[in-house]
Amino acid sequence: MKKLLLSLCGILMCASVFAQSQLNGKVLDATNNNPLSGATIKKNGIETTTTDANGAFSLPCNNNGMALTVTYIGYKPYTAEVTDCSKNLQILMVPSTSSLDEVQLSANSYRQESLKKPVSEVKLNPVELNRGTGLFLDDAINANVPGVIMTRRGVSSGQQFNIRGYGNGVGFKGISNNFDGQGYKVYLNNIPITAAENVTLLDDIDFASIGSVDVIKGPAASKYGFAIAGAVNLRTIRPKNGETSLSQKVTVGNYGLARFTTQFQMGREKTSLLLNYGHQISDGFMDHNNSTKDFMNLVFDFRPSEKQQISTYFGFSNSYDERGGELTIEQYENEDYSGSQRYIKNNAHSEIISFRAGLSHTYSFTNWLSNTTTVFGTGTSSNSSSAAGWSEEAPLNYGTRSVFDLDFDLGGDFSLSGQAGLEFQEKRSQALSYKMVENPSDPDGYNIIGATRSNQFATSKIHLLFTEWVLKMPYDFSLTAGVGKSSLFIDLEDRLYDPARGKPRVVSANYDDLVSPHFALNKVFNDNISVYASYSSGYKAPVSGNIIISATGGLNTGLVPEEGNQFEIGSKGNLLQNKLYYQLALFQATFKNKFTSVAVPAGDGTTLYSYLANGGKQDHKGVEALLKYNAYESATGFFRSVNPYLNVTYSDFKYEDFQYEAVSRDGELISQDYSGNDVAGVAPWVINAGVDVNTNLGFYGNITYMYRDAVPFTSDGLNVADSYSLLNGKIGYRTSFGQFDLDAFFGANNITGTQYYYMLFLNQLDDAYIPAPLDTNYFGGVNLKYNF
Quote the CA–CA distance of 691 and 698 in Å, as a whole number: 17
pLDDT at residue 607 in the model? 58
Exposure pattern of 425-448 as b/e (b: 16+ CB <10 Å)?
bbbbbebbebebeeeeeeeeebbb
Evaluate whether 232 touches 216 at the Cβ level (below 8 Å): yes
Q: Counting Cβ atoms within 10 Å, is residue 31 exposed (0-12), middle (13-18) or buried (19+)? A: exposed
Taking phi first (over 0 means left), then psi (-120 to 50 degrees means alpha), and beta for anything else, what does residue 542 get? beta
pLDDT at residue 260 in the model? 98
pLDDT, tens digit (0-9, with 9 covering 90-100), for 555-576: 888 889 999 999 999 999 999 9
Residue 367 vs residue 311, higher pLDDT: 311
User: How confident is residue 554, by pLDDT bands cut at 50, 70 and 90?
Assistant: confident
Mean pLDDT of 637-659: 94
pLDDT at residue 665 in the model? 65
Q: Kind and range of the H or E element at 44? A: none
pLDDT at residue 63 in the model? 66
User: Do the bridges between strand 757-760 and strand 21-29 make them parallel or antiparallel, or are there none, so unpaired?
Assistant: unpaired
pLDDT, tens digit (0-9, with 9 covering 90-100), for 136-158: 999 999 999 999 999 999 999 99
What domains appear along the chain, each with residue ranges and CATH number? 2-96 (2.60.40.1120), 120-593+617-656+676-787 (2.40.170.20)
Residue 94 vs residue 49, higher pLDDT: 49
Mean pLDDT of 732-757: 96
Half-sphere exposure of 405 (CA within 13 A, CB side): 13
Mean pLDDT of 619-643: 94
Cis check for the bond before 766: say yes or no (omega within 30 of 0).
yes
Mean pLDDT of 371-400: 95
Taking phi first (over 0 means left), then psi (-120 to 50 degrees means alpha), and beta for anything else, what does residue 474 get? beta
Quote the CA–CA distance of 169 and 561 in Å, as a whole number: 11
**C-beta atoms surrounding 690 within 10 Å:** 21
Mean pLDDT of 334-355: 95
Evaluate whether 741 touches 178 at the Cβ level (below 8 Å): no
**C-beta atoms surrounding 592 within 10 Å:** 16
Evaluate whether 159 touches 178 at the Cβ level (below 8 Å): no
Quote the CA–CA distance of 172 and 470 in Å, as a whole number: 43
Quote the CA–CA distance of 432 and 109 in Å, as a whole number: 49
pLDDT, tens digit (0-9, with 9 covering 90-100), for 457-483: 999 999 999 999 999 999 999 999 999
User: How confident is residue 17, by pLDDT bands cut at 50, 70 and 90?
Assistant: very low
Backbone torsions φ then ψ of 140, nearest 5 degrees: -75, -40
pLDDT at residue 637 in the model? 87
| Closest by CA position to 347, among listed 328, 326, 323 | 323
pLDDT at residue 721 in the model? 96
Quote the CA–CA distance of 541 and 514 in Å, as a whole number: 9
Asked if the model's pLDDT at residue 8 lies above 70, the reply is no
User: How confident is residue 587, by pLDDT bands cut at 50, 70 and 90?
Assistant: very high
Across the chain, mean pLDDT equals: 90
User: How confident is residue 602, by pLDDT bands cut at 50, 70 and 90?
Assistant: low
pLDDT at residue 146 in the model? 98
Mean pLDDT of 733-749: 96
Q: Counting Cβ atoms within 10 Å, is residue 268 exposed (0-12), middle (13-18) or buried (19+)? A: middle
pLDDT at residue 43 in the model? 83
Asked if the model's pLDDT at residue 99 lies above 70, the reply is no
Question: DSSP labels for 63-117?
Answer: TT-EEEEEE-TTB--EEEEE--TTSEEEEEEPB-S-THHHHHHHHHHHHHHHTT-
User: How confident is residue 9, by pLDDT bands cut at 50, 70 and 90?
Assistant: very low
pLDDT at residue 12 in the model? 45
Mean pLDDT of 383-401: 95
Q: Counting Cβ atoms within 10 Å, is residue 367 exposed (0-12), middle (13-18) or buried (19+)? A: buried
pLDDT, tens digit (0-9, with 9 covering 90-100), for 657-713: 888 877 666 667 778 889 999 999 999 999 999 999 999 999 999 999 999 999 999
pLDDT at residue 31 in the model? 64
pLDDT at residue 434 in the model? 96
Asked if the model's pLDDT at residue 277 lies above 80, the reply is yes
Asked if the model's pLDDT at residue 290 lies above 70, the reply is yes
Mean pLDDT of 413-425: 94
Evaluate whether 357 touches 375 at the Cβ level (below 8 Å): no
Could you write out the three-class secondary structure of 493-533?
EECCCCHHHCCCCEEEEEEEEEEEEEEEEEEEECCCEEEEE
Evaluate whether 466 touches 485 at the Cβ level (below 8 Å): yes
pLDDT at residue 113 in the model? 82
Asked if the model's pLDDT at residue 4 lies above 80, the reply is no
Asked if the model's pLDDT at residue 18 lies above 50, the reply is no
Q: Where are the alpha helices (DSSP H) in 168-308?
A: 221-224
pLDDT at residue 413 in the model? 86
Taken in order 218, 221, 227, 230, the sign of the CA dihedral is: negative
Residue 383 vs residue 663, higher pLDDT: 383
User: How confident is residue 358, by pLDDT bands cut at 50, 70 and 90?
Assistant: very high
In the chain, the percentage of residues whose pLDDT exceeds 90 is 69
Asked if the model's pLDDT at residue 605 lies above 60, the reply is no
Please state which of the ranges 169-183, 290-304, 334-348, 610-624 shows the lowest mean pLDDT: 169-183
CA angle at residue 28 from 23 to 32, to 5 degrees? Answer: 155
pLDDT at residue 168 in the model? 72
